Structure formats: C-alpha cells, structure tokens
Amino acid sequence: MSWLIHVILTLATAAWLLDGPAVSGVVVAERSPAAERPPLVVVRALGAVPSEHLRGACRVVLEEYPVRCVVRASRGMTQVFSAWDRTREQLDARQALDLLFETRSGDAVVELDITAVDLYEAGKPYVFGLASLPDRTALLSLARLDRGAGEARGDGSGEVARARLRTLVLHEFGHALGLTHHDVADCIMRQDPTVASLDSAPSGPCTDCRRVIDDQLVRLARPGQTALDRARGLLVRDRREQARRTLVHALWTYHPDAELLDDFARLFFEAGQYNEAISLLRHTVTQQPQRAVAHVQLGLAYQQRAREGDLARAVGHFEQAVHLRPDWQTVAEHLEHTRAELRAQGPSVR
C-alpha cells in the first residue's frame, strides 16, 4: 500500500504543478515574486578555520546562484565531541551532522559547515564532505584539499586548494538542495572520491542538475520554508511534539499559502502523524475547495488513519478530486478500489 500511496501523491502533485494554479475555472491566488527575498545560505566554521575559506565559500555560492550568503559565528569542536573517533583520528561526518542540527541556523535554507579536521563515513577511509538532505546541512573538510598525490599536508592557501574547495562547496551545496550523485563527466554532482579526480571535476552542474537547483531555490524562497525544513529534521529524529510546535509557530508567523500547507501536511503524513496532516488539509480544502491535490492527500490521510468513518470520508475526497480532475486516472483507479473496500465494510458513518 505504501508504494501506491507514494505514486498517487507524486502523480497528483506533479500534475497540479504542471497544469498551474487554474483548476475548473478557479484561479488560486499566487504569491508575488517581488515579495520574496532570495533564500539564505549560511557558512560557519566548525573549530578553527581561516576566515578566507569561509568568505571564499560564500563567494562561490553567490557567483553561481541567486541567493544571499553570510558567514556566521563559528562553533567549537566540543559540540561534536562524541563524533570524534580517537582510534582513527577522524570525525564521523554523519554523526557530526546530526549533532550540528541542534544549533543549525534557523533562518537558513542551507547551512555549510567547514572544518579543518579529517572526516570519514562508515565503510570509507575518508570523505571530503557529507550533506544531510533532510536538514539541508553540509559538512566540508579542508584536511585533504591541500594535498597532492603522496604529498604532506600544507596550509591549504594555494590556488589548487581554493579550486578544490570551490568544487566541494558546489557539490555539497547540490546535495543539501536534494540532488543525489549524477555520475556523468560534465556534472559537478559526479562522485570524485580522490584528490586527483577532484582536480578534474567540472566547474558546475550539468543542465539537468542546474534546472533542479534553480527550481529548488525558487521553492525555498517561500515564507515558512525554513520552518518546514526544521519540522522535517525533528520528525526524522522522532521529536514529534517539537515538530508540532514548529508547525504552529509557522502558521502564526508566516501564514503559509496552500502549497506550503500541502507540503507540511505531506511531511506529517509521511511521519505517520495523520491527525496533523488531516487538520492542515481540511483547512486547505475549506479555503480552496477546488484544490484537487489537497483532496487526494486528505483522502489518503483519512484512509491511513483508519478510524470509524474515515474510509467513507476518504472516498468522498477522492470523488471530489476525480470530479475536479477526471484526467487523473491513477486517482480514479484508487477511488474504485477504496469504494470496494468501503462496501466490504458494510454500513458506516460518512
């Protein structure tokens, strides 16, 4: 069932986005692009890091993408002390990212943390950097960027080290925006596990990856997006009550539009928090009853919550979605299956 739900949500949402905001003759109010500021990227040091590298990382992002970027106060290594492996004399990058979430900049859509210590990930002798996609946070290491093949560690101030840092910043920035590895020769998102391959890396993303990044940056400029990302990180860590409080704060502070409310609802739905998802989606369909994708999501949330009467409520919202969008064949097929399930249950409260 879970894979089918994912397909229905994905197809319905994609169709909504492709068709635009007009549905059955009703036009949904759109946000004014002029009212949105470019998304904020924050660069911070973890431990002692030369300021030129921090400023350089900001310059790299600013030269490539329409964002704001600031360098903020560094964090001490004590914040990630439990991620330090004394035997390896390396920092566990994945564990460190989890710890850094606690003090991550709340207003940044992406945070890049730069450290001078060597990093590793389970199963690998070292990594240049690592990004957390749910948190939109990346951790980058300078430790190997000044090395040539077999050369001893230097101070990392040369042109070669700066070029490597540029490659690493753009690569991990792409990961933080949701891109996975794209192993084609002309893409910055390819895997470059050695210094030699890092030196031959392309200067930027390929056309496909660039399109995804540009689309993501437009979406991430929405008021309330940082709260959505914070709630996602909390739910990933099973901190549900804090995620709920983040949601409530976002509703009062940002007055998010229907699209962001749908995203919040989907986030709580995927975390199994069906009551929260239902509350958000009921608000959406009350305010915008012609929003077919919200009816689909609300029907799925009722179906998964499975309280008395929920299946009948789900059928009602699937019917409304199909009425608004008769071309959504996958939803229509799911409606028929759900009707059959409802008939098998016998009489119920609708």
Active site residues: 172
320, two tokens: 């409304």
Question: Are the beta carbons of 108 and 83 closer than 8 angstroms?
Answer: no
Question: Are the beta carbons of 214 and 191 closer than 8 angstroms?
Answer: no
Reduced to 3 states (helix: H, G, I; strand: E, B; else coil), residue 20 is coil
**What are the helix (H) ranges across the chain?**
2-19, 51-64, 93-100, 159-176, 195-199, 207-220, 225-236, 240-254, 258-270, 274-287, 292-305, 310-324, 329-345
Question: CA 60, CA 53: separation in Å to the nearest integer?
Answer: 10
Question: CA 262, CA 297: separation in Å to the nearest integer?
Answer: 8
Burial of 292 (C-beta count, 10 Å sphere; 0-12/13-18/19+): buried
Reduced to 3 states (helix: H, G, I; strand: E, B; else coil), residue 57 is helix
Number of neighbours of residue 117 by Cβ within 10 angstroms: 19
Cα angle 111-216-37, degrees, rounded to a multiple of 5? 70
Cα angle 228-234-239, degrees, rounded to a multiple of 5? 135
